[in-house]
Amino acid sequence: MKTLRLALIALLSLAWLLPAQAQNTRMYNTVKTKLAAGEQVVGGTVDTPDPEIYCAMANSGFDFIWIEMQHSSLNYTDVARMIWACRDAPAVPFIRIPNATEGDIQKATDIGALGLIVPMVDTAEKMEQAVHFAKYPPEGRRSQGGGQYGRLWGSDYRQTWNDNLMVIAMVETLIGVEASAEIAGVDGVDAVFVASGDLASFSGKRQGDPDYEALVDKIKSDTESEGKIVGGPSAWIQEREGYQFFQGPSTGSLIRIGTRVALEEADPCRFLPSGATPVAGENPCP
């Protein structure tokens, strides 16, 4: 009887280690489910702390919001308020963290990010550490801590987190390109993002240049060989095949685009020279 009791205790203590799929994990990371279904996803980029701007972006049709913390003055208090202000929005929060430190990853996940975008990845070891810091035991060493994550994603957050998390590696340098196969092969890395602008900066080549395109092709090929998602800028949606994860325009870009469209609709001649015809057959501009 004592042996049976000990066996039952051992089985119960190991139950939480069962694969999430066997427990019918609840999925709330809609980006992850869309990608698994073969869909493309686009995230609008936010680098301002205004919750109203965040909410406008999160409700405008994007799949996720790329919250920019690497190249902005945003802090985690700012971002926590933004995410909470639009907690029911269709677009889920992803954060490009400043770096893959344990502190940055703990804070980003505690405030509710469902995706971590890791910049400047040159080695597989950097992504191994990122995944290790981001996932709960037994897969990683994330501590439970506090934060608003439970109020955002439910009381079963601890049990479902490891399956809902997305981790994206950004390859930006020539060193990173060389290691792209190893980076993509890290368990827990869901996607590799081709950082088009920085790749041009570090290589000294422009898009269309054969040397530049060879770098892009290597990252894409290495990532696909590992069965992972390939990402890039939203300008590549129509230009390049095989990409699923895209960074969309920033709030500043969208304001400029929207302003121009609104002004042209109000006055088709606003940006045309005198004598030009907005529409064939209509009166020329004064």
The region that residue 89 occupies, defined by phi over 0 for left and psi between -120 and 50 for alpha, beta otherwise, is beta
Those residues with Cβ within 8 angstroms of residue 136's Cβ, 6 or more apart along the chain or in another chain:
142, 144, 158, 161, 162
Q: Which of 9, 61, 71, 255 is catalytic?
A: 71
Those residues with Cβ within 8 angstroms of residue 191's Cβ, 6 or more apart along the chain or in another chain:
35, 166, 167, 168, 169, 223, 228, 229, 230, 231, 244, 245
Concerning whether 132 is annotated as a catalytic residue, the answer is no
CA distances from 14 to 11, 67, 140, 149 (A): 5, 37, 16, 25
Active site residues: 71
